[in-house]
Amino acid sequence: MSEIKISSIEMKSVLESLFTKHSFTKAQATVLAKTHTESTLDGIYSHGINRVPAFIDYINKGLIKTSAIATKTASMGSMERWDGNLGSGVLNALTCTDQAINLAKNHGMGLVALKNTNHWMRGGTYGWRAAEQGCISILFTNTIPNMPAWGGKENRIGNNPIVIGIPRKEGHVVLDMALSQFSFGKMQSLDLKNEELPFVGGWDKNDKLSKHPKDIMDSGRALPVGYWKGSALSMILDMLATLLSAGNSTYKIGLKNNETALSQVFMCIDPSSFSDTEIQHNLLNEIIQFTHEGPSMKKGDQTFYPGERTLMTRKKSEIEGMQVNAKIWEEILLLLK
């Protein structure tokens, strides 16, 4: 499939017009366009530009309420519960991230649990946002059932993404990972390029482990990262998100036949609450330097800390533009008509 080069300015302009057309306010459309564009700039096409058609489809189906905003339902000092009211997952997540940051600035630590929200797109967006405000963050969401629990055959757990962000002067550290070996968005991106996965990523319809993205997407059964460990972690995150938000579990989400009304947790810590910020900075760099200086398996290879390659991709994309799948871009332009 051919690709075309798109600048961030052009992408933001097109997406802002598209989101405004679908009843978001000008301010909301600007934020959504910026978020999808920045994800694409960072090389996360699967949850940036490639996800836009599905986002519009959910709006057209009434699963995403463009007029809805998140509202606070309970406050317990440094902890709060919010209801997303089935609004945009991105707008809801930004609201709750900012509130968790505010709580952390006031209490040292803040937690916001959100129910009834939609897909937050790239979870790393909120880890980077918290880091820019000087906060450590631990964020996670549950999903529709899309993985078998280890030893099982049917999908009973989600690939529940988790994000951990740590602010750092030389470049923030941001881990953003789903609990499937490969996210379904990543598999879609590789399928669009007719590429295989580098490692097995799930089961095909014949219960065989496969590297073919389409086979796994057709079966809907992804492989948990770390096998039984990823399976257990998925269950734990689902439990925490459900209990803390008093929202839907992966089981309840699966009954809806669409990935909507999710539960999410946004926890932020303000490290400046401690008096040893310089020591923190030195310790963080010590860990990164020790990892970087280790020998590589192959000549020319190197190790990276979480988020390091994202920063490199962002810089390159800002200079050279983004290589966007032509079919996806054409689909988006048609949605504007």
**How do residues 25-41 score in pLDDT, each as one tens digit?**
999 999 999 999 999 99
Q: Which long-range contacts (CB under 8 A, 24 or more apart) does 331-337 make?
A: 331/53, 332/14, 332/15, 332/18, 332/49, 332/52, 332/53, 333/14, 335/18, 335/52, 335/53, 335/56, 336/14, 336/17, 336/18, 336/21
Q: Is position 292 annotated as part of the catalytic site?
A: no
The DSSP output letter for 30 is H
Q: How many domains does the chain have?
A: 3
Please indicate, yes or no, whether residues 203 and 232 belong to a single structural domain of this protein: no
Please indicate, yes or no, whether residues 151 and 89 belong to a single structural domain of this protein: yes
Please indicate, yes or no, whether residues 168 and 233 belong to a single structural domain of this protein: yes
Residue 1 pLDDT exceeds 70: no
The catalytic residue among 47, 119, 172, 212 is 47
Please indicate, yes or no, whether residues 266 and 331 belong to a single structural domain of this protein: no
d(CA 302, CA 184): 27
Q: Please report whether residue 55 resides in a domain.
A: yes
d(CA 265, CA 252): 17
- The proportion of the chain whose per-residue pLDDT surpasses 90, expressed as a percent, equals 91
> For 209-261, how does the pLDDT look when each residue is reduced to its tens digit (9 = 90+)?
999 999 999 998 999 999 999 999 999 999 999 999 999 999 999 999 899 99
Please indicate, yes or no, whether residues 123 and 135 belong to a single structural domain of this protein: yes
d(CA 24, CA 255): 28
| Inter-CA distances, 176 with 166, 179, 238, Å | 12, 10, 17
Which residue, 140, 222, 206, is CA-closest to 175? 140
According to the model, what pLDDT value does residue 125 have? 98
Output the six-digit token pair for 79.
């902890």
> For 95-111, how does the pLDDT look when each residue is reduced to its tens digit (9 = 90+)?
999 999 999 999 999 99
pLDDT bucket at 10, cuts 50 / 70 / 90: very high
Report the Cα 222 to chain-centroid distance in Å. Answer: 17
Mean pLDDT of the chain: 95
| Residue 22, domain extent | 1-61+306-337
According to the model, what pLDDT value does residue 71 have? 98
pLDDT bucket at 188, cuts 50 / 70 / 90: confident
CATH of the domain at 331: 1.10.1530.10
Contacts of 121 (CB under 8 A, 6+ apart): 35, 36, 39, 47, 48, 51, 55, 89, 90
Domain end marker among 223, 256, 286: 223
Taking residues 204-208, report their average pLDDT.
Answer: 92
